[in-house]
Every structure is written in structure tokens, then in C-alpha cells.
Amino acid sequence: MKYISTRGQGGEKSFKEVLLAGLAEDGGLYIPAELPQFDQDKIRSLRGLPYNELAFEVIKPFVAGEIPDPKLKEMIDDSYATFAHEAVAPLTQLKSHQWVMELFHGPTLAFKDFALQLLGRLLDYTLTERGERAVVLGATSGDTGSAAIEGCRHSKALDIFILHPYQRVSEVQRRQMTTILDSNVNNIAVQGNFDDCQAMVKRCFADQSFLPDSSGKKTRLVAVNSINWARIMAQVVYYFHAALELGGPDREVSFSVPTGNFGDIFAGYIARGMGLPVNKLIVATNRNDILHRFFQSNDYSKQGLEHTLSPSMDIMVSSNFERLLFDLQDRDGQALAAQMAAFEETGKLSVSEQRWQKIRELFDSSRSADQDTCNAIKDLFDRTEYLADPHTVTGIRALEEVETDSRIPNVVLATAHPVKFPQAIEKAGLDAPELPHHLKDLLDREERYEVLTNDLNAVKSFIQNHLAQ
């Protein structure tokens, strides 16, 4: 399997090169040069497999020739052994033809555990094989940070630095990061918003000269944000899992996906590209609606950030959207590079009417304001006694807003456990649920984090000082 940059430079790369690089040298994102193809018989043969065995079959073609099958299987088995539910990603039916796929049974109660439990092991394996150390540097609007820390904390080859916007993540989300006291884990609260944190991370990746050497070798940064292809790869699996549970491939399935950065739903787009019969992909978002505006009116333009009750979707620019644009540009890296350069300058882009109409055949979208979110949480609980978090419920609400085929299953991706967002649950007039057993004492645990000004040099100095110790 070979990988290429969306911006057309640098030639073909191996999986391990892409894993360690994160962002391409030309500023683009990596994508498979060709997707593996699963025909209907192949997909049928996957029915009934436990989640870890299904994951092995789906992921294997993406790493072909680079990781021995027994080692890959061991890493996958270990990753999903940490999940609290036997089914790993259980499906709960809400009503006729409507299901929720619960992606919050991992150690940090968010869908990102699916990718980051595996990503940490892939990084550790690859770096150890090369005799290298690396620095995981990431920005989080809530869930990525704790999932990255949990996935990487036991690695002897990694130091971890996670930036989050100061006082702009929930207390549970913050404490899931800051109460991990392993010596290789460092949390930085930046006095800015998530986009400020993300911008700093990108600038550090663009110029890594501030990093010290380690044992005579240059220390490298590795990305665990959804720009890293391995994140998308791992998330493709649960689309196959849901479809197979609900009659696929002999029956189409639609998915409604709460998303800000477009990574989670792009995994569904990849699954479809591999042969999974996906009818519709519905983007569910909040007032930070750049994706909704694109899919409704071909307007992908930056607007001011609004803080909402669904903070993991509080973004101004969707970092994975470039991967879809690459296909919309007929995989012309040069054309996409020009388009992204113009976007950097003007803060807006659109595609040709013909291309936009074509992608609208697959994608639709819905936007929820905070009041919509609260109403939907309460309404769903009153009807079904099912308590959804403020991100998941935007996906459930999207199915009411968007025209779907009522004859086929519609699956909402439940991206986080409601316990992570007590403020939203209480605003909806309901009692916040109790923390699960392994987090019962979370609010009493010791925290460790550094508050820094919104200044790149301050962040670089902090990283330098800690790596020098």
C-alpha cells in the first residue's frame, strides 16, 4: 500500500512513513494512492466476526508488507481488550430503522479511543524498530487529548504534549488528561481557543528545529490529531461493523455523524470507497457550521468561533475536509494546492456546481443550536429513556431534519458518553449520570498542567525545557 499527499508533491510513501509524518511536507494530508477493494462476497465473509478480528481484516490491506500479520493482530487485540463492552461498539435501536452505535466504551469514554489505542501501539512498534524516540504533539477541543494520552502513556519511545484551550473544555475532559501523572505526559492549557492551539501545533510541525537531539538522533514530532492517516484507517472498521450487523452488504445503510473536523465521517466515505454499501453520510454539527454551509450552499468559509454545549465540534476550519476536496478535484494535487493557498489567503472556497451537486448525492447535513441540542436530549430521554451526550444528539436530530430513505437502517454514531458533559445534560433538565467505576474518583485526583499565554515561543520553550530534563 502506497500513500500520496493531497497537494501532489513528494511522491509515494509507505505506511510507516505516513504514520510518523502525520502532515505531508507540502502541507497536504496523506491518502492511499488506491483504496483496497472488498467485493460483496468478501464483505459477507466478515459477518459474525468479533470486532478485533473484523478490524484485522479491514486494516490489514492498509499496512500490507510493513507489519507482520501476527504483530498487527496482537496490537489490534490489545487495543480493543481495553474496552468495557463485549461488543466493543454495540448497536442500540431507538425506533424503526434507527440505531445508535455506541463508540464510548473505551478507556476515555469517547470514539477517539478506537483510533488512539491502536495508534499508540503502532507508533511504539515503529519507533522501537527504528531505535528512535518521538514527541507526540497535539491540540484538543476535548476528547482527543485524553484518548491520545491513554493510548501513548505506556510507550517508552514517546513523550506527549497536549494543548487544550484554557477553561474551554469540560471538567471531566480536562481531568481525564491532567490527572495522568506519568513522567512522559505533559498538559498545556493555552489562554486562547482550540484553533489557536491547532495553529501552534501546525507551526511546530512546519519548523521542528527547536527540538533537542535524543541519543545522537534528531527527535521528531508525530501527530495524533485526525490529520494522521492511521486515525482514519482505524475508524473505517466500525462502519463495516455496523453495516454487517444490520444486513450489509445485501442492504444499504446510512450514517449520521456528529463531526467538526470531518475525520470521523471521512472514515465512512473511505468505507464506501472500499465497497461498503453506504446510502447517505449525514454531517451533524453545531453553530460552528462551516461543513453545514458547504453541503447546503457550497460555501466553505471561515467565520468566528462560537462556544457551544457540544465543545468537541467548536472549530472554524475542518482539518480533514481537504481529503474530500482532493477527490472533488479529481485527485489533482496541483489544483488542490492552489485552492488551499487561496483559502489560506481569503478564508473561503467553493467547488464547481457540477462537483458540488455530485457530492450532495452522498452527503447531507444538519446544524443544531444549543437550545435545539437541549430540547433533543430531553425529548429523546422522555421518549426512550436513552440519554445521549450533546454531540450524539445532534446526529439523532439530523435524522429528523434531513430526508432519508425510511426503508433502510440509519445509524447515528454516539461519539461520547453523556457523563463527560454534565452541564449540557443538566441544561436539558435532566440529572447528570454518575461517572463509571474506573473514573469514580476522577474529580478528587491530583492534577498536573501548565497554563501558558497564547504564544508559540512560550509553548516551544516549555517543550524544550521538559525534553532537556
Share of the chain above pLDDT 70, in %: 99
The residue whose grid cell reads 534528531 is: 218
**Model confidence over 232-286: pLDDT tens digits?**
999 999 999 999 999 999 999 999 999 999 999 999 999 999 999 999 999 999 9
Residue 414 domain flag: yes
Domains: count for the chain: 1
**Model confidence over 330-380: pLDDT tens digits?**
999 999 999 999 999 999 999 999 999 999 999 999 999 999 999 999 999
For residue 112, indicate whether it is catalytic: yes
Q: Give the model's pLDDT for residue 31.
A: 98
Over residues 220-239, the mean pLDDT reads: 94
**Model confidence over 189-218: pLDDT tens digits?**
999 998 899 899 989 988 899 998 776 677
Residue 345 domain flag: yes
Residue 361 domain flag: yes
Q: Which of 13, 16, 112, 420 is catalytic?
A: 112
Over residues 146-158, the mean pLDDT reads: 93
Residue 309 domain flag: yes
Checking if the pLDDT of 458 tops 70, the result is: yes
Q: Which residue in 61, 12, 3, 62 sits closest to 31, CA to CA?
A: 3
Residue 146 domain flag: no
Q: Give the model's pLDDT for residue 215.
A: 67
Q: What is the mean pLDDT of the chain?
A: 95
Structural domain for 382, as ranges? 86-108+229-427
CATH of the domain at 278: 3.40.50.1100
Over residues 46-50, the mean pLDDT reads: 97
**Model confidence over 78-109: pLDDT tens digits?**
999 999 999 999 999 999 999 999 999 999 99
